[in-house]
Structure 1
Amino acid sequence: METVNIDIVSDVVCPWCYLGKNRLAQAIANVSGEINVAVQWRPYQLNPDLPPEGVDHKQHLAAKLGGQAAVDDAHRMLENLGMEDGVAFNFDAVKVSPNTLDAHRLIRWAATSGEAAQAELVNLLFKAYFEEGRNVGEHTVLLDIAEQGGLERPVIAALLASDADKQAVKQEIDMAREIGVTGVPCFIIEQQYAVMGAQSVEVLSSALREIAQMKAEHPAH
């Protein structure tokens, strides 16, 4: 079987990224037995200028989307989509729009334990924020999630208290912008093909099959 490599550029406070994650999981299940799919999560910050303590979520979104009515409409649409894709959005529970730099550092460290560990941590972060309303910019919350994901709490505590990998994460985000990523999720397949947005399961499944076929027919490329 061919192996198709995917880098997912994402932010943990992006509801479309949560939907995209679940849709990709369904697409991977669709091609199971045909294609091996290797996934790496890459950082992006929709709101890099937020303070470390975050800001009031409702006020922030209303200012960003043009009023509370627009926010309510967007949330209703996302809740309906979530029901189709296995995401139990609970926007009423979300109180803080956090700065996500430390969450991205945590995702980076989880990758050292392997692809499955990183994927589990990403899932826990999305669930904590969108379904449980937890502040994923707060170190205590991140430590609880890290421990739940099988990481060593004392090690992660020491790393979070330092500046470890802050610059590396920021450089990755800058690189994503330089190659043209202007929104997330963005699925970069084989470092050549970009699929933008939370595309349908069918679109993602087709993309995986087409690129696997191209790899099989042109292995040198």
Structure 2
Amino acid sequence: MSTTSPIVIDVISDVMCPWCFIGKRRLEKALMMLPDSSVKVQWHPYQLDATLPKDGKDRKQYLEDKFGGPERAKEIYTHVRNTGAAENIDFQFEAIKKAPNTINSHRLIRWARSEDMQDAMVEELFKLYFIEGADLTDKKVLVDAAERAGINSKLVSDLLDTDQDVQEVEADVFRAHEIGVTGVPFFIIDGRFAVAGAETPETLAAAIRHAEETKTGE
């Protein structure tokens, strides 16, 4: 492409959202369709339920409260599981015991940006929650995840004991609502085009290509 700076893709997402995991896989496929494109992906926070206690909530109770009963929840998650399987995601919903408040997960993702390790951090959190059923409110789980993602785990451990960046994450979530985001994943491409939901790789690739073709010279 002729421009010197990459196309920035801002992904608004929550780590407890299975469609966001699916959306990540589809974005990866879209980028594989555009081998000559220069793209930078940035992850931003959203909370599907900011009212969850800091220590989370029993997932069975959470799903019953949210969907009105286990049968409706099972019906919805069967569709998600089948869609995930098509993206090589082996969702293990039965392994998840707790619906987490994701504020601390989003702090980790925020800190990973400074080390250009956001993708690795997001991937680790998705896998922990949806495949291993890990408790994302557990400090040790988060610190170990940061270490596996290549981030300074000692620093993460120290910061998690403080309120560092809690307000900043909450402000980012508020801004997402302000611009009209009501569901995730939500992709903002080059600050100009929006793609709502876990759209197909072809749709995402077309949107990125259009952003490239209409990008003004710098």
TM-score (norm. length: structure 1): 0.95
Cα-to-partner distance string for 1:148-178 (whole Å, 9 max, x where unaligned): 1111121111100001000000111111111
| Dislocated runs of 4+, deviation >2 Å | none
Whether the aligned pair in 1 keeps the contact of 2:12 and 2:185 (CA below 8 Å) is: yes
Cα-to-partner distance string for 1:106-146 (whole Å, 9 max, x where unaligned): 000011101xx110010000000000000112111100100
Q: Find out whether 1:111 has 2:109 as its counterpart.
A: no
Q: SS at 1:42's partner residue?
A: strand
Q: Which of 63, 66, 69 in structure 2 is aligned with 1:67?
A: 69
Match of 1:24 in 2: 27
Task: Give the Cα–Cα distance (whole angstroms) in 2 for the partners of residues 180 and 78 of structure 1.
Answer: 24
**Alpha-carbon distance, 1:66 to partner:** 2.0
Q: Which one-letter code corresponds to 1:16 in the other structure?
A: W
Match of 2:93 in 1: 91
Q: Which one-letter code corresponds to 1:32 in the other structure?
A: P
Structure 1: gaps (5+ residues): none
Task: Give the Cα–Cα distance (whole angstroms) in 1 for the partners of residues 207 and 120 of structure 2.
Answer: 24
Task: Give the Cα–Cα distance (whole angstroms) in 2 for the partners of residues 122 and 108 of structure 1.
Answer: 10
RMSD over aligned CA atoms reads 1.0
Whether the aligned pair in 1 keeps the contact of 2:193 and 2:207 (CA below 8 Å) is: no
Q: SS at 1:113's partner residue?
A: coil
Task: Give the Cα–Cα distance (whole angstroms) in 1 for the partners of residues 186 and 78 of structure 2.
Answer: 23
Cα-to-partner distance string for 1:89-120 (whole Å, 9 max, x where unaligned): 00000000010000000000011101xx1100
Q: Find out whether 1:81 has 2:83 as its counterpart.
A: yes
**Alpha-carbon distance, 1:83 to partner:** 1.1
Match of 2:192 in 1: 192
Task: Give the Cα–Cα distance (whole angstroms) in 1 for the partners of residues 168 and 199 of structure 2.
Answer: 29
What percentage of aligned pairs have identical amino acids?
Answer: 42
Whether the aligned pair in 1 keeps the contact of 2:121 and 2:146 (CA below 8 Å) is: yes
Task: Give the Cα–Cα distance (whole angstroms) in 1 for the partners of residues 40 and 108 of structure 2.
Answer: 20
Match of 2:205 in 1: 205
Match of 1:53 in 2: 55
TM-score (norm. length: structure 2): 0.96
**Alpha-carbon distance, 1:67 to partner:** 1.3
